[in-house]
Amino acid sequence: MRAVVTVIGKDKTGIIAKVSTFLAEKGVNILDISQTILDEYFAMLMLVDLSGASDKLAALSEECAEMGKKIGMSIHLQHEDIFNAMHSV
């Protein structure tokens, strides 16, 4: 199953490293990644594969949100179909 991870917040050193390490520890494979800096804000979008994940989608989503709070970022993980439905016209 594929999911989308969004990471948004004030830019600081180590965001990609912290998020990718966290996901790897959970058995999540990063398939694609795009990130940008908008003035002082960091924005990242990741397409991930959850087939090897140690936890189910709902638990991983909660863990991502908690990890985001710890590093001062907003992190959301959602099923790819939900993300696509929310962003289609």
* pLDDT tens-digit map of 15-64: 999 999 999 999 999 999 999 999 999 999 999 999 999 889 999 999 99
The per-residue pLDDT for 89 is 59
Dist CA 76 CA 66 (whole Å): 10
Question: What CATH number was assigned to the domain covering residues 2-86?
Answer: 3.30.70.260
Is pLDDT of 68 > 70? yes
What are the residue ranges spanned by the domains of the chain? 2-86
The per-residue pLDDT for 54 is 87
Is pLDDT of 71 > 70? yes
pTM: 0.88
